[in-house]
Amino acid sequence: MKYLLLILASFASTYYLVGLLIQGQLADIAEGLRHRPDAPSPGQYLREVRPHARRAHRHYTLMAGAVLAVVLCLLAFWLS
């Protein structure tokens, strides 16, 4: 049961942290587009990029969550 909780906690925390990182980067890029006259509007850019950001969010969450889950489970096994 403790391993299941560790796995769920690791995936939940990586989902949250990866989401914060991706949304922050998108906001920074959209803000930078405001200062360039040749760039698309920030709203148009965000509409075009949002599906790619969602897919990247899932991929990075699965990769980082799996690594964190393995490390935490090995650490819990070693400590018990």
pTM of the predicted model as reported, rounded to 2 decimal places: 0.85
| Averaged pLDDT in 10-residue chunks for the chain of 80 residues | 94 97 94 87 91 96 96 95
Q: Which two tokens stand for residue 78?
A: 């070693």
Contact criterion met (CB below 8 Å) for 70 and 11: no
* CA 39 – CA 1 distance, rounded (Å): 52
